Amino acid sequence: MLATAPSPVPSRSHAGAWRSPVLAVLLFGILLYGPWLLTGGLSPRQDALRQSVPWLQFARDEVLSGRLPVWDPARLAGTPHLANIQAGFFYPLNLLSLPLPPQVAVGLGLLGHVVLGGVLLSALARGLGLSRVAAALAGMAYVAGGFATARVYASHVEVLRTMAWAPLLLLAARKLALDASPAWAAVLAVATALSLLAGYPAVTVYSLGAAGILFLASLLEGSRPWRAIALGLSSVPLASFLAAPGLWPLAELAAQTTRSVGLTLDESAIGAVRPADLPTLVWPWYFGASPLGNYWRNPNWFWHETQMASGAALSVLAVVGLATYRRHRVVVILACLGAGSLVLAFGTLTPVYTLLHELLPPLRLFRIPSRFGLVWSLVIPLLAAFGLQALLDRRTRVLHSAVKAALALSSLGLAALGVTAAWQLLGVFGGEETGPASRAAWACVAGAANVLFGAAVALSLRLVAERWGRGRLSRRGLVGGVYAAVLLELVVLGLPSIHRSPESLPGVLDNLGQENVRTLENADSRVALGGPLKAYANLGDLLGFESVTAYDPLLLGRTTTLLRASQGIEDRWGNGSNYIELVRDGGVAFDILGVGYWVEHGIERSSLVRRASPLPRLSVVPRARLVSSPEQSLRAVLTPGFNPLKEVVFEGKAGVLNAAVPARGGASVEILESRPGCLRARVDAPSGGHLLFSESYFPGWVAESAGRKVALMPADHAVMAVGLGPGSHTLTLRFTTPWLRPSLLLCCVGLLGLLVLLLLSRREWQTLARRCVG
């Protein structure tokens, strides 16, 4: 009997919203996150403030101006926008939100995608044979779980967008393996494409890996495995075609970034879970920590990255579900997926991650292994739903051993807490955030309360099960009690994460200084932000200034290398960094990139320094030097005495000089028109020369004159230039996107393929919605 699937509970046994898991999860999500939206949740903060809102603002401004947002000159001395998949321009829900102010779109997007993830997880639970109340519990546990609330705290917009589609990938993979239906192949392709376009490829890869394992394991239960495999393989190119407008330019951009050669093992393992974090999988405040800080760990502990807590009540219920249905194939698969994701979340602490890093090149582009915990955050609510189903099916014998395991775990937790407290008080742990005895005492109280609550939940669940088994408790009472224990704890644990706003735009502007802000708004050249302000370089898209720095996971390699070399320091994050450390004026590197203002961070107020010698956006340089590699060009421009106004350093063959002769002076440049991705100018160069364009180099820029196009070449390591013949020229410098039309064509091909799959499964498609939500 234990090997059979859970028997669905008749719908007549439940009333109200519980008839529909979708409605239950939706109402719960609105009640939990609605106050956050009303009390400042629409204000940009953390990563949303640093990148998501500026990206949306730039895209919105360009679309309202009748242009595609192909090139953003306000970040990193110019950087491609459409090619940055995290900006998510081609993500359908982003396109729908463009009419909204960016801060409103971000707030609603965070709430909408958290709830969407919960709804789809409840659909997955229904697809696994669970009842409505069990499926609703799984969805609500995801919405209020530590993995989701921590990402809301950090405003990881792109991560939340992408992880929302993971349950649908698992559901489609499972159903495709069982039914071999073209309808589910279509769903799998669409879910994969949406996950890719949502903007966080690492989460998509992890989700697809889990879905692939579930698909292969489920083939053993299907009646037509070879047909299912064929349909599954066909969904891969179909999803790639549908997501081509985002994937094609991403491949081109990745080749030009600091991650083009992949991250080293140490760089990719930043933000891994550590053994001491294990108690926080159940009790998130075990160490007395919260989004406000931590008392037991060193300052590099990323609370929001390692947070995967599910609470004691849900964890006990998950143990019950796993123990009860331990012979059920899908439960075993889920348990293995959860355990595997946790092992990978430890990063280099386990040999598995190291091996995969060597064998799978795509993993070398990703960092923060703790994000493998996405799979864990899906598995635990599902196992807990199986636990609730076991109670509803009166399978309570296993509760005795499950409760013993929970009590043993609680005892172990108390013992570990005592040892940790002793170490803390003796100064063995610590770090910069080691607090006085009062803070350590509070941490002990918080940890003990977490552990004791878990023990109380285990004992209460046993008592409730005994009464339920003897017929002394109604079904409604059982469901209500379990829901109250799980959701009340999750809400209490999650509220500090949701409502804590550690950063805000007014706070950043106050630190920068209102006078400085007004100066930068009217700046006639670029800005370099030093100190902690480096993370807010993208605010140029909001405030109207252009920055030579950026907060972006895909930093252009040439520009980043030049800036880092000018500082003479090593970024501790290496090529996995989202920003560029600037501690002083970069000298000639700043000149090349047109930096006219250097912002030095102060404790109370930042100071603004006006630089004297930045290059203008366009200038005619009389002499040229040819080198054979980017490394040589970097050495040449950093050589003492190099003057970018008198000499330009080209890379490549002699043909790049375009037969331009050394100029004798007297050249002039007049900019006629300037807009993102396009610059038109009149250049008078009586004796020729080389037109230096102070914009970050990227393939696709061309110079047009009299109907003739010439590609701009790398110059001075990080910018671009083109040779000029003697005379007067009217030039248009334009960023072209040759990939756009073919990628849109591939997308149309993907839509046609999707239509074919839907036509092949008309009957299945008609009942798909009912089969998902019950």
pLDDT digits (tens, 9 = 90+) for 698-726: 999 999 988 888 889 999 999 999 988 88
Question: Helix (H, G, I), strand (E, B), or coil: what is residue 259?
Answer: coil
Q: What is the mean pLDDT of residues 136-154?
A: 92
What's residue 288's pLDDT?
Answer: 64
Alpha-carbon distance 551 to 566, whole Å? Answer: 19
What's residue 377's pLDDT?
Answer: 95
Tens of pLDDT, residue by residue over 295-304, are 454 444 577 7
Tokens of residue 755, six digits = 């239509």
What's residue 16's pLDDT?
Answer: 37
Of 160, 168, 154, 136, whose CA–CA distance to 28 is shortest? 136
Is the pLDDT at 634 greater than 50? The verdict is yes
What's residue 70's pLDDT?
Answer: 95
Q: What is the mean pLDDT of residues 648-653?
A: 84
| Cα four-point dihedral sign 56, 61, 66, 68 | negative
Q: pLDDT exceeding 70 applies to what percent of the chain?
A: 82
Q: Residues 380, 146: contact at Cβ < 8 Å?
A: no
What's residue 765's pLDDT?
Answer: 59
Q: What is the mean pLDDT of residues 89-96?
A: 92
Q: What is the mean pLDDT of residues 332-352?
A: 93
CA 276 to the chain's CA centroid: 25
What is the pTM assigned to this prediction? 0.89
DSSP structural state of residue 15: -
Q: Decide: residue 560, CB within 10 A, 0-12 exposed, 13-18 middle, 19+ buried.
A: buried
pLDDT: is 394 or 29 the higher one? Answer: 29
Q: Which residue has the tokens 């009842």?
A: 131
Is the pLDDT at 292 greater than 50? The verdict is no
The highest-confidence range among 239-243, 324-328, 413-417, by mean pLDDT, is: 239-243
Is the pLDDT at 649 greater than 90? The verdict is yes
Local confidence band at 658 (pLDDT 50, 70, 90 cut-offs): very low
CA 208 to the chain's CA centroid: 16
pLDDT: is 262 or 191 the higher one? Answer: 191
Average pLDDT, the chain: 84
pLDDT: is 209 or 273 the higher one? Answer: 209
pLDDT: is 244 or 509 the higher one? Answer: 244
Tokens of residue 564, six digits = 């880092």
DSSP structural state of residue 556: B
What does residue 140 show for φ and ψ, rounded to 5 degrees?
Answer: -70, -35
Alpha-carbon distance 457 to 485, whole Å? Answer: 8
Is the pLDDT at 511 greater than 90? The verdict is no
Alpha-carbon distance 100 to 60, whole Å? Answer: 9
What's residue 128's pLDDT?
Answer: 93
Q: Alpha carbon of 153 to those of 36, 52, 192, 294, 578: distances in Å?
A: 11, 14, 26, 15, 19
Of 72, 174, 41, whose CA–CA distance to 675 is shortest? 72
Q: How is the beta sheet containing 689-693 ordered, strand by strand?
A: 618-621, 689-693, 719-724, 713-715, 647-651, 623-627
Q: Residues 757, 183: contact at Cβ < 8 Å?
A: yes
What's residue 401's pLDDT?
Answer: 65
What's residue 716's pLDDT?
Answer: 94
What does residue 13 show for φ and ψ, rounded to 5 degrees?
Answer: -75, -10
What does residue 701 show for φ and ψ, rounded to 5 degrees?
Answer: -75, 135
What's residue 432's pLDDT?
Answer: 41
Local confidence band at 213 (pLDDT 50, 70, 90 cut-offs): very high
Compute the chain's Rg from CA coordinates: 29
Is the pLDDT at 291 greater than 60? The verdict is no
Count of CB atoms situated within 10 Å of the CB of 737: 18
What's residue 656's pLDDT?
Answer: 46
Q: What is the mean pLDDT of residues 37-41?
A: 74
Q: What is the mean pLDDT of residues 229-241?
A: 94
Q: What is the mean pLDDT of residues 625-654?
A: 89
Is the pLDDT at 379 greater than 60? The verdict is yes
Of 128, 208, 113, whose CA–CA distance to 159 is shortest? 113
Local confidence band at 2 (pLDDT 50, 70, 90 cut-offs): very low
Q: Alpha carbon of 69 to those of 61, 159, 361, 694: distances in Å?
A: 8, 22, 30, 20
- Lowest average pLDDT, out of 131-135, 555-559, 602-606, goes to 602-606
CB within 8 Å of 175: residues ≥ 6 apart: 127, 181, 184, 187
Is the pLDDT at 353 greater than 60? The verdict is yes
Q: What is the mean pLDDT of residues 254-264?
A: 89
Q: Residues 393, 7: contact at Cβ < 8 Å?
A: yes
- Residues paired with 526 in a beta bridge: 595
- Residues paired with 768 in a beta bridge: none
Alpha-carbon distance 397 to 469, whole Å? Answer: 9
Alpha-carbon distance 670 to 618, whole Å? Answer: 9
Q: Alpha carbon of 103 to those of 39, 107, 505, 713: distances in Å?
A: 14, 6, 11, 38
Q: Alpha carbon of 468 to those of 15, 392, 478, 554: distances in Å?
A: 20, 9, 7, 56
Q: What is the mean pLDDT of residues 162-173?
A: 96
Tens of pLDDT, residue by residue over 435-462, are 555 555 666 666 677 677 777 777 777 7
- Lowest average pLDDT, out of 141-145, 369-373, 404-408, 516-520, goes to 404-408
What does residue 769 show for φ and ψ, rounded to 5 degrees?
Answer: -60, -40
What's residue 137's pLDDT?
Answer: 95
